[in-house]
Structure 1
Amino acid sequence: MSATDDRVTAAVLVIGDEILSGRTQDTNLRDIARYLGVIGIDLAEARTVPDVLGEIVDALNALRGRYDYVITTGGIGPTHDDITADAVAAAFEVELHEHPEIIAMMEARWGGELTPARRRMARVPVGGALVKNPVQGPPGFTIGNVFTLAGVPQIMRGMLEDVGPRMRGGRPTVSRTVRVDGSGEGVIAAPLEAVARAHPDMSLGSYPFFGPDGYGSNLVLRSRDPEALAGVVVELIAALKGAGIENVREVQVA
């Protein structure tokens, strides 16, 4: 769990052979990170695991004991390799049952044609609650501090809107970017390290760029304290210029 009361943490567990094989490009991690950042939750770790029951269970148990929340994506469809519900139930040591609300939704949509494959999507761990799906298909579910969402990006984003209000948010993290043009990381390393050491509670990262218009680095500073962050931006620019690096400016990043 979080080390301090004012920091709320989360992890993402991406499930699916198709992600690891490269056949499907994952965009859910990016969308979840952005969503959580707005409500003041730090995405502290992300893992990707195959459609193997034991590996999903092991990863889920490790993450749910370490962070305030865990969001899983993928593996709740109708096919034989959609085993996320089985894995979540195993992790919490409970049985699966066909949720009556999901069965009712399916009957309203398909009438009496509830095939075994469709019924697989109605399985929820005993004690779990539903996560609304405003797009199409059955809902996700939550149990303990775990939220199990669909892997299809559009559906996952819709489910997030129901997940967010159930989470305890924190103070949102604010970021500011200082751009250095025409100097490599070897040149900026010393002043950047000095500022970082002086402010250990603040995140400072260097992200180099190369292109037809030149090279350099974007120095990204993150903090929950906007006023302190503004002061460190000024300090960093001064430190860089004091080291003889003149082409430095703060930039706005969308």
Structure 2
Amino acid sequence: MDVAIVTVGDELLAGDTQDTNSTWLCGQLTERGVQVRRVTTVPDEIGEIARVVNEYRAEYDAVITTGGLGPTHDDVTMEAVAAAFGREVEPHEGALAWLEEHGGYSADDLVAGTTNLPAGARMLPNEEGVAPGAVVETVYVLPGVPAEMKAMFQLVADEFSGDRTYTTFLTTPQPESELIDLMVTLQETFGVSVGSYPGENVRVKVTARDPETLEDAASWLRERIDVVEGPEVSETA
């Protein structure tokens, strides 16, 4: 399963707010065996959001957007997602009923537009806030407030899954430039994916579809580099 993440907000592009949502979502999706293929930040502009969502929904199995939900002037994500599908936004009776039952709100209490969703959307209740999210076919529209986004993602988390993978890390003091040929040979020989992450030392990440291949690949690599600490093995479903 391939997924793209679109984070929405002028404040993200201006550097006023740090985007922690995409990092958290990437971790959650990776743990489920999902491949995150794109993370893109766009401004609070209907045309930009709609263009990117439309492009990504054609390319990937699912798109997750965060940010821009609510009734204020710059909360335009619902309208933009609707535009990407050629739909209108309209009051969602289920969203209003949920807020009346669980939030103690009435229609008179809510700012106009709070419960407007793209036509035909599945409503996602906001258990940590007010403005609901939505699912429109393969596009999941989540809030930008981290606590609200995390709670809402848990409602749909089971809809994201992929092949089980196994990962190990090896740490070496050798520079990345010395590892290039080894990484290419490792991938070609064992059919694994390999990443390297520089720092005080270089961490080499090896990922395979089964534990036997992972162990064979890791053993092969350990024999050819200087390892300063033992491997860390993890499994994702």
- How far the C-alpha of 1:247 sits from its partner, in A, is 4.2
Q: Name 1:228's counterpart in structure 2.
A: 213
Q: Name 2:83's counterpart in structure 1.
A: 90
Residue 140 of structure 2 corresponds to residue 147 of structure 1: yes
TM-score, normalization by structure 2: 0.90
Q: Name 1:218's counterpart in structure 2.
A: 203
Q: Identify which of 169, 191, 206 aligns with 2:196.
A: 206
- How far the C-alpha of 1:17 sits from its partner, in A, is 0.5
Secondary structure of 1:165's counterpart equals helix
Structure 1: how far apart are the matches of 2:89 and 2:227? 60
Residue 163 of structure 2 corresponds to residue 163 of structure 1: no
- How far the C-alpha of 1:238 sits from its partner, in A, is 1.6
Structure 2: how far apart are the matches of 1:161 and 1:112? 27
Q: Name 2:171's counterpart in structure 1.
A: 179
- How far the C-alpha of 1:61 sits from its partner, in A, is 0.8
Q: Name 2:185's counterpart in structure 1.
A: 194
Q: How does 1:41-120 map to 2 (within 5 A)?
A: 41-107=34-100, 109-111=104-106, 113-114=108-109, 118-120=111-113
Q: How does 1:17-32 map to 2 (within 5 A)?
A: 17-32=10-25
Structure 1: how far apart are the matches of 2:187 and 2:228? 17
Deviations 1:29-60 (A, max 9, x none): 11111111222211111111111111111100
On the 8 A contact 2:98/2:125 being kept in 1, the answer is no
On the 8 A contact 1:107/1:114 being kept in 2, the answer is no
Structure 2: how far apart are the matches of 1:146 and 1:112? 27
For structure 1, which runs of at least 5 residues remain unmatched after alignment? 1-7, 211-215, 241-245
On the 8 A contact 2:186/2:192 being kept in 1, the answer is no
RMSD: 1.9
For structure 2, which runs of at least 5 residues remain unmatched after alignment? none
- Over 3 Å counting, the alpha-carbon distance change for 1:218 and 1:61 in structure 2 is same
Structure 1: how far apart are the matches of 2:135 and 2:106? 27
TM-score, normalization by structure 1: 0.84
Structure 2: how far apart are the matches of 1:9 and 1:164? 14
Q: Name 2:2's counterpart in structure 1.
A: 9
On the 8 A contact 1:107/1:113 being kept in 2, the answer is no
- How far the C-alpha of 1:192 sits from its partner, in A, is 2.5
Structure 1: how far apart are the matches of 2:165 and 2:39? 18
Structure 1: how far apart are the matches of 2:42 and 2:185? 38
- How far the C-alpha of 1:248 sits from its partner, in A, is 4.5
How many pairs were matched up? 232
State the percentage of identical aligned residues: 33
